């Protein structure tokens, strides 16, 4: 379903001057956030390449471990709010840089933590697949 969406895009999703590939990736980033918020591992499984590398909190997480974590997480812990996002494509590869907010608990206190992320997507046989996702907490 997600892969179909990525190849037939609504006109409104496309930013002026943006390539079709960049728009497809932008849409998939949105789908990914939505899937994560709904513990929707099936969609994430389709979006993630089998060799995807996740780096969060300084640790490398495999696809299997990441999906397990999403499945067992409380939905409110997965409520990611995308703030900014730029997509740049180089042939069949796309680099996405942006920021998001995500709930976190520090010292028993709930707070919204801001992160900057870099995602790498590769178009494989017509479908954009996420091959790397890394994020760093913003110090300010």
Name the residues that contact other proteins, by CB under 8 A: 49, 51, 53, 55, 57-60, 88, 90-93, 95, 97, 114-118, 120, 122, 124, 131-132, 134-139
Which DSSP category does 73 fall into?
A: S
**CA diameter of the chain:** 46
* Least distance from other proteins to the Cβ atom of residue 98, Å: 10
Q: Which is nearer to other proteins, 33 or 118 (CB)?
A: 118
| Parallel, antiparallel or unpaired: strands 81-90 and 93-106 | antiparallel
- Least Å distance, CB 73 to other proteins, is 19
Which of 4, 90 has the CB closer to other proteins? 90
Task: Tell me the closest approach of the beta carbon of residue 118 to other proteins, in angstroms.
Answer: 5
Task: Considering the complex, state which of residue 44 and residue 121 has its C-beta at the smaller distance from other proteins.
Answer: 121
Question: Measured between alpha carbons, how far is 31 from 48 in angstroms, rounded to an integer?
Answer: 12
Kindly give, in sequence order, each residue whose CB lies less than 8 Å from that of residue 57, ignoring residues fewer than 6 positions away.
none
CB nearer to other proteins: give 13 or 51.
51
Closest CA to 74 of 45, 42, 109, 105: 105
């Amino acid at each position: 379903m997600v892969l179909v969406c990525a190849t037939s895009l609504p006109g409104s999703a496309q930013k002026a001057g943006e390539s079709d590939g960049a728009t497809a990736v932008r849409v998939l980033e949105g789908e990914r956030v939505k899937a994560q918020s709904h513990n929707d591992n099936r969609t994430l499984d389709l979006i993630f390449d089998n060799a995807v590398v996740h780096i969060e909190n300084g640790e490398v997480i495999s696809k299997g471990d990441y999906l397990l974590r999403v499945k067992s997480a409380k939905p409110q812990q997965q409520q990611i709010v995308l703030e900014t996002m730029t997509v740049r494509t180089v042939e069949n590869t796309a680099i996405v840089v942006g920021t998001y907010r995500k709930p976190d608990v520090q010292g028993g206190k709930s707070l919204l933590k801001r992160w900057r992320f870099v995602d790498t997507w590769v178009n494989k046989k017509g479908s954009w697949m996420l091959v790397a996702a890394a994020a760093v907490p913003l110090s300010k």
